[in-house]
């Protein structure tokens, strides 16, 4: 039985001690990917090691990588397998961009909450 790409990625992240691994099913939100996986590393070196292990284990399992971005600074590295996109980030970078919240929102969520509603041009009356 072959492991799914999602399982391979999560195992690769756990092997290098990733923190706060989250897998989001985003099929209802985009046609670009099915799953987004977000994980944290405690240092630039660990972020780079996590992304590298994901790429190596993914290839070993027979999956093709479309691209890897961000490994020069290693604050946020994206590993793109097509249907599965992996974001490995430093905790501060992850907190700033808050991808989990952004990609968990459904259309109309902000309008229903009312807290994010702001007039574009202000009150024209």
CA angle 93–47–49, rounded 5-degree value: 170
**How much is the pLDDT for 97?**
82
Q: What is the DSSP letter of 27?
A: T
Alpha-carbon gap, residue 5 to 59, rounded angstroms: 10
Could you tell me how far CA 97 lies from the centroid of its own chain? 11
Q: Higher-confidence residue: 109 or 74?
A: 74
The tally of domains found in the chain comes to 1
Record the pTM. Answer: 0.79
122: in domain: no
- The answer to whether 72 and 57 have CB atoms below 8 angstroms apart is no
Per residue in 63-107, pLDDT tens? 999 999 998 988 999 999 998 999 999 999 999 888 877 666 666
Per residue in 17-45, pLDDT tens? 999 999 988 767 666 777 889 999 999 99
Mean local confidence (pLDDT), 37-64: 96
The conformational region for residue 81 under phi > 0 = left, psi -120 to 50 = alpha, else beta, is alpha
**How much is the pLDDT for 105?**
64
65: in domain: yes
Longest dimension (CA), the chain: 66
Residue located via tokens 């961009």: 97
Residue 94, domain CATH: 3.30.460.10
13: in domain: yes
Burial class (CB in 10 A: 0-12, 13-18, 19+), 6: middle
34: in domain: yes
81: in domain: yes
115: in domain: no
123: in domain: no
Identify the CA nearest to 40 among candidates 23, 21, 53: 21
In terms of residue numbers, what domain contains 79?
5-104
46: in domain: yes
pLDDT band at 115 (very low <50, low <70, confident <90, very high): low
């Amino acid at each position: 039985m072959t492991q799914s790409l999602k399982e391979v990625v999560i195992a690769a992240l756990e092997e290098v001690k990733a923190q706060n691994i989250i897998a989001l099913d985003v099929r209802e939100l985009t046609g670009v990917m099915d799953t987004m996986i977000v994980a944290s590393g405690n240092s630039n070196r660990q972020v780079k090691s996590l992304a590298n292990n994901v790429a190596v284990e993914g290839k070993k399992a027979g999956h093709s990588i479309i691209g890897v971005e961000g490994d020069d600074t290693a604050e946020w590295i994206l590993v793109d397998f097509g249907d599965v996109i992996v974001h490995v980030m430093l905790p501060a970078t992850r907190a700033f961009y808050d991808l989990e919240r952004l990609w968990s929102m459904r259309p109309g969520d902000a309008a229903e909450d009312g807290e994010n509603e702001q007039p574009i041009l202000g009150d024209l009356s």
